[in-house]
Amino acid sequence: MGGVAKVRQVSNPEVSDQKPETSSLASNLTMSEESALWPGMKPESGLIQTPPPSQHSVLTCTTGLTTSQPSPAHYSYPIQASSTNASLISTSSTIANIPAAAVSSISNQDYPTYTILGQSQYQACYPSSSFGVTGQTNNDAESSTLAATTYQTEKPSVMDYPTYTILGQSQYQACYPSSSFGVTGQTNNDAESSTLAATTYQTEKPSVMRVFLWDLDETIIIFHSLLTGSYAQKYGKDPTVVIGSGLTMEEMIFEVADTHLFFNDLEECDQVHVEDVASDDNGQDLSNYSFSTDGFSGSGGSGSHGSSVGVQGGVDWMRKLAFRYRKVREIYDKHKSNVGGLLSPQRKEALQRLRAEIEVLTDSWLGTALKSLLLIKSRKNCVNVLITTTQLVPALAKVLLYGLGEIFPIENIYSATKIGKESCFERIVSRFGKKVTYVVIGDGRDEEIAAKQHNMPFWRITNHGDLVSLHQALELDFL
C-alpha cells in the first residue's frame, strides 16, 4: 500500500482544524422478652405436699441442713442428688421434719435433672438485671401437682448494657480483602425493648465505577494536524519541521505495524477489538508456528492461491486470522512498557529523539495529557478506555510508539473505523454496565454526538488550557 493511502488510515480523517484557544471548566463539560415456663420444667406427680398455705414455708436444699434460702414457692419439689436432705422452715420458726420413709421414697425415684441458669451467669450477660423465682398455687384444689414455675427479669430503672465489640473494617477486610461491610439496626421504642439491634454484614464485589472514554488524535497526542500542517499554522510553528516530524512518526508506525503486528495480512480484515475473533482460536501452540508459510491471505481466498489458503470466512481462514490477533496481543503485552525492544538500536534512538522533538513542537501536549491519564489510572474503580477512528493494528502501534502502553491495556482499545464511535460506545456500555458513570473526552463531533446519544458528559479538548482544566477538575474530584 502506498504511502499516501496509509496516511489516510493512520490519521483521523474526521478531525477538523482546531478552534481558537478557550478554557473554562464550565464550558468544557456537558452534563445532562415476656415471662414463660423454664425449659424442661413440668408438673410431676408423687411429690410431697407442703403444709397448708397459711404457713408460709419455703424449701431449702442443702447437704447438711444448716443454711436456707427463702423463696416464695408454695410447693416443694425434689432435686436429684447423691445425698440431699430437704426440710421445711416456716415463718414462725417451726420446723416440719420429713419422715425418713418419705425421704427414702424420694431418693429411689428418678426425676429429671433441671439445669437452672445461675445468678452469676445471668449477671455476666445483664449485670444490672435482677433474678427471682415465683410460683402460684391452686387454693381451690389441693392437688399434688407441681405448680408452674416462672422466671421473670425485672427491668431496672437504668439499664446498663455490656460493651459489644463490633469488628472494624480493617479487621474485616483482613479476612475478606475484597469485601466491604455495613452495620444496620433498628430498635422498638414503643415496646421499650432492651434487645441489641441486629447487626448485619454485607460483602460487595469491587467493580468499575467510572470509565473515561478517550479519543486519541488531537486529544491525547498531536498527530493528524502535524501531517496537514494545521498545527503549525495555528500556533505559528515552522510548517516544514512540523510536517516532517509527523511524516517520520507515521513511517515508524507502519514499520512496527507491518513488521511485528501483521498489518499486511490484517489491513483488509480489520477488527474493532483484539478479542473479536478469539472464539475461532483453537489454542494451538504458536511458538514454532510459521505465519509466513501458512498460506493466509488477508485480502480473501481465491482459486489462484490454491486450496491451502482457504476461503475467506471459512473455518481454516478464521483460525489463521485468530492466530494473528492472538500473536498481536502477545507482542503488545510484552512490549507495552518497552517499545524499543521491537526496534533496532538505531531506530530506538531515532524514536527517542523524534518524541522529544514532537513534545517541544507541541508545547508538551502529550505530557499535559499524561497527567490526567495517570491520575485516573491511580484511582480505584476507574479505568481509561481508548476509542480511535484509526484501524486497530496501526492504532496499537501508535499507542506503543507514543509510550501509552501502560496507560491503555490492549483490551481497553477499540477501533471505530468499521462501526463508528456510537456503536463502540454501545459495546463498552454492554461490557461495563449501565450503572457505571462514563465521561467522554475528545475533540471531534463524532465522540460528542455519541456521548449525547448515550447521555454521557463530554469534555472537549481544543487546546492546552482544556487539558490543564481537565487535570484540575480531576484533582478536585469533579470528575
Query: What domains appear along the chain, each with residue ranges and CATH number?
Result: 3-30+207-262+339-475 (3.40.50.12350), 33-156 (no CATH)
- Is residue 316 within 8 A of residue 389, CB to CB? The reply is no
The predicted pLDDT at position 207 comes to: 75
Q: What average pLDDT does range 65-90 have in this prediction?
A: 44
The pLDDT confidence band at residue 16, using thresholds 50, 70 and 90, is: very low
Catalytic sites, residue numbers: 215, 217
Q: Does residue 135 carry a pLDDT above 70?
A: no
Q: 342 pLDDT exceeds 90?
A: yes
E-strand stretches of 296-373: none
Q: Which of 375, 388, 373 is nearest to 216 (CA)?
A: 388
**pLDDT value of residue 312:** 73
Q: From residue 383, how far is each of 118, 428, 475 by CA, in Å?
A: 61, 12, 16
What is the rounded average pLDDT of the residues 191-196? Answer: 41
pLDDT at 358: 97
Whether residue 440 is predicted with pLDDT greater than 50 in this model: the reply is yes
- Residue 297: band (very low, low, confident or very high) from pLDDT cuts 50, 70, 90: confident
- How open is the CA angle 454-456-460, to the nearest 5 degrees? 125
215 is in an annotated binding site: yes
Give the pLDDT score at 216.
96
Q: Is 217 annotated as a binding residue?
A: yes
Of 1-5, 11-15, 69-73, the range with the lowest mean pLDDT is 1-5
Is residue 447 within a helix (H) or strand (E), and if so which, with residue range?
A: helix 445-453
Contact residues for 101 (Cβ-Cβ < 8 A; gap 6+): none
pLDDT of residue 30: 54
Q: What is the pLDDT of residue 471?
A: 97
- According to the model, what pLDDT value does residue 214 have? 98
Average pLDDT, the chain: 72
CB contact at 8 A, 261 and 325: no
Confidence of residue 331 (pLDDT cuts 50, 70, 90): very high
The share of the chain scoring above pLDDT 90, in percent, equals: 50
The Cα–Cα gap between 465 and 227 comes to 23
Tell me the three cell numbers of residue 81: 442428688
Q: Mean per-residue pLDDT for 385-412?
A: 97
Distance, in Å, from the CA atom of 397 to the CA atom of 264, rounded to the nearest integer, reads 13
Confidence class of residue 310 from pLDDT cuts 50, 70 and 90?
A: low
Q: Does residue 220 surpass a pLDDT of 90?
A: yes
Assess whether pLDDT exceeds 60 at residue 272: yes
The helix (H) or strand (E) run that includes residue 248 is helix 239-260
Q: What is the mean pLDDT of residues 14-20?
A: 44
pLDDT band at 298 (very low <50, low <70, confident <90, very high): confident
Q: In this structure, what C-alpha cell is assigned to residue 28?
A: 468544557
DSSP string, 109-141: S---------HHHHHHH-TT---EEEE---SSS
110 is in an annotated binding site: no
pLDDT bin (cut points 50, 70, 90) of residue 325 is very high
9 or 210: which carries more pLDDT confidence? 210
First-to-final CA distance of the chain: 43
Kindly report the CA angle at 347 between 258 and 231, in degrees rounded to 5?
Answer: 80
Question: How confident is residue 306, by pLDDT bands cut at 50, 70 and 90?
Answer: very low
Beta carbons within 8 Å of 177's beta carbon, 6+ residues apart: none
- At which residue does the C-alpha cell 455476666 appear? 124
What pLDDT is attached to residue 477?
87
Phi-psi region of 451 (alpha: psi -120 to 50; beta: other; left: phi over 0): alpha
The predicted pLDDT at position 13 comes to 43
pLDDT, greater one: 388 or 129:
388
Q: What confidence score (pLDDT) does residue 84 get?
A: 43
* Residues 403/385, Cβ–Cβ less than 8 Å: no
Q: Is 414 helix (H, G, I), strand (E, B) or coil?
A: strand
Amino acid, single-letter form, for residue 456: M
